[in-house]
Amino acid sequence: DYPFLCKICKKEKALIEIPSQKIKVCKNCYNNFFENRIKKTIEKYKMIKPQDKVGVFLSGGKDSSTLLFVLKKLYPDINLQAIFINLGIRYYSDKLEDLVKNFCKNLEVPLFIYNLPEKEGYRIDDFIFTYFKDKVCSACGAIKRYLFSKIAKELELNVIATGHHLDDTISVMLNLFFQGDFLGIAKLQPSLPPLFPNQVKKIKPLYTTPEKEILYYAILNEIPFENFKCPHANVTPSKKIKELLTKLEDENRQIKYQLLSVFTKKLIPLIKSNYKEEVLSLCIKCGEITSSQDKICSRCKRIELLEKIDNKTLELTKEEFED
C-alpha cells in the first residue's frame, strides 16, 4: 500500500480524509461513501416513495444545499421542489436569495420563493423590538415552522426534507436531556409521519451524517453556500454542546454514533413506554398544530404581539424600545 493512494479503491490518489473513518480517500470514493450512507438512511426509515413530491427548504447554508444536491443525484426521477423563504433580514436575506437562485438554476431544480415582508407585512428584524428580547430566533423558528406547513400545502408537497445532521441531532438531544425534557427527545425522529390529515411528512436524510463530512462534500463538489452568520444568531446551549462534542471526538471518533445509539435504542424506547402522548390540537387562528393549552400557536402569539406594538396598544418600558 502506498500511503498516498485512496484507502478504498487503492487506485486513485488520496485527496481527503473521511473524518468519522480516519482514512484518506479519493474524491470519487468520498462521494460514494457519503451518498451511500444517506441512501441507506432514506431506505431504512422509508423516507421517500417514488411518487412523492419532495420539498427542500433552502437556507443558503451548506446543509440544505448539500441535501438538495444529493437527493437530485441519488433520485434523478423524483419530483423535487426547492423552496426559499426570504425572511426579510436586512443585509442577509437578499444575498441568500441570489445565491439560492443561481444554485437551483444550475442544478435544474424548480425554486419557489416566498417573500415574508411582501406576503405577510413584517420581517424577522421586527421581532428585535418585542418582549422576546434576545429571542429573535425563537420567533423566527415558530414562523418558519408555520410557513413550512403552509407552503407545503400550497405546493402540494407530500414530504419536506430538512438538512438536520448528526451533530444537530445529538446536540439537541443532549441539551433537552440536561433540561429534563424527555418527551422532547422522543420527538426527534428521523422521519415524522403527518400527525393530522392534510399535514406533511417530515424527513431528515442527513440524520446519520456528521456536519464536518457535509462541509467537505460541499467543498469537494463545489456546492455554493453562504458561510457568514445571520445577524441575529447567538450562541445557544446546543451550539456549546456541539463544540464540546467536537472535542470529545478527538479522543473517540465514534462518540456521536455511540450517543445516537444510546438515545435511540435505549432512552427513547424507555421514554415512550413511560410517557403519555402529548395532547395536540389545531391553532384556532392559523390551523397549525400546537400543544399550547389555549390553542393559539407560538407563531400566532408573536404576531399578535407585533400587531399590538404597531397599534401602540401595548405598554412597553422605555428600555425595551431603546434596545
Which residues contribute to the site for ligand SF4 (CB under 6 A)? 124, 136-137, 140-141, 230, 232-233
Nearer to Zn ion, 253 or 285 (CB): 285
Residues 68, 107: contact at Cβ < 8 Å?
yes
**Which partner from the list Zn ion, ligand SF4, none does 58 bind, CB cut-off 5 to 8 Å by kind?**
none
> Does residue 295 sit in helix, strand or coil?
coil
Return the DSSP state at 229: P
**Which partner from the list ligand SF4, Zn ion, none does 283 bind, CB cut-off 5 to 8 Å by kind?**
Zn ion
Q: What is the 3-state secondary structure (H, E, C) of 78-131?
A: CEEEEEEEECCCCCCHHHHHHHHHHHHHHHCCCEEEEEHHHHHCCCHHHHHHCC
**Which partner from the list ligand SF4, Zn ion, none does 137 bind, CB cut-off 5 to 8 Å by kind?**
ligand SF4
**Which partner from the list Zn ion, ligand SF4, none does 285 bind, CB cut-off 5 to 8 Å by kind?**
Zn ion
Task: Output the smallest distance, CB 49 to ligand SF4, in A.
Answer: 31
286 binds Zn ion (CB under 5 A): yes
124 binds Zn ion (CB under 5 A): no
Task: Output the smallest distance, CB 134 to ligand SF4, in A.
Answer: 11
Q: List the x/- string, 234-273, binding to Zn ion by CB under 5 A.
A: ----------------------------------------
**Which partner from the list Zn ion, ligand SF4, none does 140 bind, CB cut-off 5 to 8 Å by kind?**
ligand SF4
- Residue partners of 172: CB distance under 8 A and separation at least 6: 188, 238
Task: Output the smallest distance, CB 288 to Zn ion, in A.
Answer: 5
Residues 303, 130: contact at Cβ < 8 Å?
no
Binding segment (CB under 5 A) for Zn ion, from list 109-117, 235-243, 274-282, 300-308: 300-308
**Which partner from the list ligand SF4, Zn ion, none does 233 bind, CB cut-off 5 to 8 Å by kind?**
ligand SF4
- The DSSP element (H or E) to which 17 belongs, if any, is strand 16-18
Binding segment (CB under 5 A) for Zn ion, from list 109-117, 126-134, 187-195, 296-304: 296-304
Among 63, 67, 41, CA closest to 54 = 67
Q: Distance between CA 171 and CA 242 in Å, rounded? A: 6
- The DSSP element (H or E) to which 73 belongs, if any, is helix 62-74
CA 153 to chain centre: 19
Beta bridge partners of 261: none
Among 187, 203, 224, CA closest to 53 = 203
282 binds Zn ion (CB under 5 A): no
Nearer to ligand SF4, 40 or 119 (CB): 119
Task: Output the smallest distance, CB 233 to ligand SF4, in A.
Answer: 4
**Which partner from the list ligand SF4, Zn ion, none does 136 bind, CB cut-off 5 to 8 Å by kind?**
ligand SF4
Report the residue count for the chain.
323
What are the residues binding Zn ion (CB under 5 A)?
A: 283, 285-286, 297, 300
